[in-house]
Structures are given as structure tokens and as C-alpha cells.
Amino acid sequence: MELEAMRLAMDFTDVTVRTFQQSLRESITEMEVAAKIDQEVEKAGGLIKRPSVTLLFGERTKLSHGRAQQNRIRNNQPAFVELAGVKNGYACALVRSAVLGRHAETEFLHDVSIDVLEAVVSAIKPGATAGEVDAAGREVLKQHGRPQLLNHRVGYQSGINWVERGNISLQPGAADILEPNMTLHMPIILRGESGYQFGTSDHVVVTERGAEVLSRTPHTLYYAQ
């Protein structure tokens, strides 16, 4: 029943991400996109975890978190969202990023974040330690010669009321052992030299075969025109 609730929560999260992507156009504000997201999730019969919605355009993507404001996106600017749909107290989060036009610095950050995320997801399996999963992601950054881009853990455990099923942190040296049916969120958000914070994430359930990704929305960068 818990995993069923998580899957339904992710369905709502996927609705929010698709709405975020499809709403991006020149001069639309963060608050206008947030209103569209609320409208579409309500149509789908869902809820969004409040108040932890981050929605940022342009220079505001340099913030770690931030609620939507009357900030308009312009051509050749980045956009970033982190939010979670909710079902019966269970929340499933995603980070997704987009660019209206092109933006070389954040595009580079996103490319690297995908490499890191895929390494992290591949390392998840029963019996692995949280520290081993974290190390798999940091090894990719070393291979890119940019270990300084990541200044936080690669993920954490989630569940009812966000952390009541456990609070495992996927961070350097963590000795917690991953077990089947644990659910984990891995937000790989990288900070560039100019201060932009950009990336992507996956929310997974640990299975005997490894990590099962719950979202149906690709973690690739979305290009709006």
C-alpha cells in the first residue's frame, strides 16, 4: 500500500513537471506557471507538498530554494523546479530544469548532473551502503575534473510525511545499508562558477534488481522555444 501511494504521488508530480515544461514562454512569470501547475494537478485529483515548492527563472536559479514570484523568464534564460506530488501523506519529489532558448553554462551543469545521477542510480541495490552510492556520483565529478560542482549529499530516504519511514542520508562515508522497498530521492543540483544552481533528480524504490525509477518524465533538460 505504501508503494502504491508513492506511485500515485509521482503521477501527480509528473503532471506538475509536464505543466512546468509546456508553460514556458517568453515573459511568463513564475507565479503564472505556479498557478497553471496548481490548476492541472487539481484537475488530476492531486495535491502538491506545501510549502516546499521551488520555482525559479533566470538569475533566481542562483538561489538554493525559492517560492514563485512575479519574475518573468526571458529568452536564453534557465528555469528550475523542485516539487512533490502527495498521496495519503506520501510525497514523491522531482527536480527538473529547462532552458528557454539556449544558456551554455546551465546546459553544461545539466549535462554533468545527468552523468552523476545515472551513476548514483546504478549504484543503488540491496546491501550497498549510502556512502558507496554517494561515492559513485562523486567519482563521475572527478572524472570530469569538477568535483567542486557538488556541495551537498547526493540523496536521502523518503516516505510518509517525508521522513517517517527513515532518514538515511546518501553522503560521504555513510554506513547505512540499503534494503528492498526503501524509497530514495536523489537531487543532483550542481553549482557553477557564476552561481547558477542547476540539475535534475530521480525518485526510486530499491528492488532486488537495483533501483526502479518511479517517474515517467525523462530527467533530460527541456528546451522551450
pLDDT digits (tens, 9 = 90+) for 27-41: 999 999 999 999 999
pLDDT tens digit sequence for 80-108: 999 999 999 999 999 999 999 999 999 99
Alpha helices in 62-103 (DSSP H): none
Tell me the average pLDDT of the chain. Answer: 96
Provide the CATH number for the domain around residue 69. Answer: 3.90.230.10
pLDDT tens digit sequence for 24-76: 999 999 999 999 999 999 999 999 998 889 999 999 999 999 999 999 999 99
pLDDT tens digit sequence for 133-152: 999 999 999 999 999 999 99
> Do the Cβ atoms of 50 and 37 come closer than 8 Å?
no
C-alpha cell at 185: 530521492
pLDDT confidence of residue 164: 59
Burial of 50 (0-12, 13-18, 19+ CB in 10 A): exposed
pLDDT confidence of residue 207: 98
Helices 130-144, 104-123: axis angle to 10 degrees equals: 140
In Å, the largest CA–CA distance within the chain is 49
Count up the domains in the chain and report the number.
1
All residues at 6 or more sequence positions from 214 whose CB lies less than 8 Å from its CB, including other chains: 6, 7, 10, 92, 183, 202, 203, 204, 205
pLDDT at 163 exceeding the cut of 70: no
pLDDT confidence of residue 120: 98
Q: What are phi and psi of 28, to 5 degrees?
A: -70, 145
Q: Which domain holds residue 31?
A: 2-224
